[in-house]
Chain A
Amino acid sequence: MTASGLADLLLERRVIVCVGSGGVGKTTLAASLGIEAARLGRRVLVLTIDPARRLADALGLPSFGNEVRRVDVRGALPEGHLDAMMLDTRATFDDLIRRLAPDEVRRREILENQVYRLVSDSFGSSQEYMATEKLYDVVATGRYDLVVLDTPPVKNALEFLDAPGRLARFLDRRIVKWFLTPYDENRVFGRVLIGTSGVVFRLLGVIFGREFLGELSRFFIAFRDMYDGFRERHEAVTRIFEDQATAFLVVSAPTEASVDVATFFREELLARRLVLGGFLVNQVHGWGPEVEDPADILEPLLTNLPEDRARRVRSRCAVAYGRTKAVAAREGPLRERIRRYAHPDRVYAEIPLLPEPVRDLEGLDAVIRHLFPAHPDP
């Protein structure tokens, strides 16, 4: 399947998750897909993580607060529109605690706990975890036909695919129960160690210090009857991942490191029976048919310039073109590898390295023209 299948994905899916390594243009591509989907008449939300400032400005995104902004899309069908939201990880985590804590007292108890601070620093700064958290929220509103999720850069597919379960695992009932059993919940300090795990428990006390174990049990106690809430959310996110209306798009650049990450994502997505929609290869070098003598071919275009400046442009462009050709040659086999992954029925599209970084809606339109070549200019 070719890029035309990409439009079908936009029309048929409810969630598209763009995954891949860092620096390959996931945010740009997610925004482009969102714009195109709005033009196809869908109500779309693009949830981005950390867009370049100028791209965020172009989309009208404030830098914090999980606020939804309407993006003015030229040529959108009347029923379609595009919203964009930039994920604020800290706010997302606080929201989560606020929502799951039964009352104000408990919320304060949790927020003041030292273990919580460590946990929240680890989970709160975990964009992988928070991205999936927010995905659940926006899908649950039912306000969108399609949610495009731009994901944080990961080196390892598991970091992202396993993210929804991380907090649930930490609050695993078995661990909590094992920790709380030796304690009398009401007398955390004056406890009696009981049960077979007593020995190991005493050892942990020696290693970590009894103060820590006390603080930890207070943490677990503060979280009591919130475990189910976390587990339910984890299960809900997992259901969204597994839904047939969800598709994963693997984004890569034609570099070894990026293609390795893409390969690993492919393996993991297939092993987990998640819907692998296809592959987008971004930043491909090589702009058109090969040129024999780059300096020569420029000659007639430079007649308006004084000779020394013309010479300068000629030599700089020739050097640049030579480098481009070398890079393009190296990219060939890597692109071929991804193309084979897509064969026969998955989306495969290439987007050339644009001479200038995408900074505005016009830049996004240039990307869209490559993603959807048949599409007439709006």
Chain B
Amino acid sequence: MRVRDVLDARLLFVTGKGGTGKTTVALALARLAASEGRRVVLVEVDSHRPTLASWLDLETAYGPVPAGPGLDVANVTWLDALVDWLTGIVPVQRIVRLILTNRMVHLFLDVTPGSREVVLLARIEALLGSYDQVVVDLPAAGHAVSFLKVPQQSASLFPSGPLRRTLDGLVLLLSRPDTQVVLTALPEEMVVNETVETWVRLTGFRPSLALPLVVLNKALPPDPDPQWRADVRRVAARHKASHPAGAVLQAGLWEAEREELTADALDRLSREIRARVVLVPLVDELPGPLERVGHVEAVLGAALSDP
């Protein structure tokens, strides 16, 4: 299994701990796929403050809107997805309205664990009908696992009926080999812990996931010669932070640490979950989110041409 196969997936979920660059990586992946001639839709899930809208400077909505050649974006909101789903099973508009305007049903659907995820996933599945690839910017890692687990987990509760049929379809969809997950992470102890844990939990109910592809953002590829790290530490230990050169030494110390954290992350991710890790190195200056997306896109593009 190669990186290429993961990225060729028809349905690609991107998740990771908050602040690890999920949305950046999701947009970069979607652009890459679109640049290869595929019709791609990038989906934000039930976002109250859609990030993509401000990055791309356009109004996102439930229905996909164009965001570049071959690329659309959509914000799949729960209530719209619910209407869609109900319309699919109860073709009579009047009855759909009756259900939706009943306050109790509303309250019930809103708070019943799982019902939210099911209708959102059903909408994501429907989008596959009009696109070659659907990239989903999932909620932060912990939530993402519960999100993807819902169809399988709630199946036993619903032995029959339209909801059960939806669940069966979703379980099937989520276990297809061309449904894949990409994780984002940072070279930091806590983040690596959570990344490993997320993968273990995901494969616990989805053994068919191909390989853990981890995009490690803000990484610093370890210098093959570790001598400079020991040297800068020795020099820094002899001088106070208030020394005129203090700021320079501190910056050096920080990057020495970052190199080691990157090495630790690479080591743990490959040892504990046998992950294929794509390093996105720190760069000197990346002013805006779209420049960051461009950087990640270039790095991922290069990783793709790797055998």
Contacts from A to B (Cβ < 8 Å): 21-24, 50, 52-54, 114-115, 118-119, 121-123, 125, 127, 153-156, 166, 169-170, 172, 174-175, 178-179, 197, 199-200, 203-204, 206-209, 211-212, 215, 255-258, 260, 264, 286-291, 294, 297-298, 301-302, 305, 309, 312-313, 316-324, 326, 330, 353, 355-357
Contacts and interface: CB of A to CB of B under 8 A. Distances in A.
Q: Which 6 A-B pairs have the closest CB atoms?
A: A122-B113, A317-B252, A22-B18, A209-B161, A355-B253, A320-B251
B19 to A, nearest CB: 4
Contact of A209 (B102, B105, B159, B252): B159
Contact of A212 (B158, B223, B257): B158
Nearest to A156: B48
B54 to A, nearest CB: 9
A298 B33 CA distance: 46
How many B residues are at the interface, by size bracket?
35 or more
B162 interface: yes
A209 B164 contact: yes
A301 B239 contact: yes
B251 A317 contact: yes
A211 B251 contact: no
Contact of B160 (A52, A121, A211, A330): A211
B253 A174 contact: no
Contacts of A172: 107, 111
Given A21-B19, A52-B190, A209-B160, A178 B104 contact: yes
Contact of B161 (A179, A208, A287, A294): A208
Contacts of A206: 161-162
A317 B248 contact: yes
B71 to A, nearest CB: 22
B5 interface: no
A291 B247 contact: yes
A320 B245 contact: no
Interface string B98-111: 11001011011001
Interface stretch (B59-67, B125-133, B225-233, B293-301): B225-233
Given A209-B163, A316-B232, A357 B254 contact: no
Contact of B104 (A174, A209, A290, A294): A174
B149 to A, nearest CB: 8
Interface in B238-255: 238-239, 241-242, 244-255
A66 to B, nearest CB: 19
Contacts of A197: 102, 104
28 contacts: A22-B17, A52-B189, A114-B157, A115-B157, A121-B146, A125-B142, A178-B104, A199-B98, A203-B90, A207-B86, A207-B90, A208-B161, A260-B49, A297-B244, A298-B235, A301-B238, A309-B231, A313-B232, A313-B235, A316-B228, A316-B232, A318-B248, A321-B247, A323-B251, A323-B282, A324-B247, A326-B284, A356-B257
Nearest to A178: B104
B140 interface: yes
Contacts of B261: 357
Contacts of A119: 113
A122 B239 contact: no
B186 A305 contact: no
A167 to B, nearest CB: 9
B247 A53 contact: no
Contacts of B107: 169, 172, 174-175
B65 to A, nearest CB: 22
B156 interface: yes
Nearest to A330: B287
Nearest to B101: A200
B306 interface: no
Interface string B64-93: 000000000000000000000010011000
Contacts of B164: 209
A118 B102 contact: no
Contacts of A324: 247, 251, 254
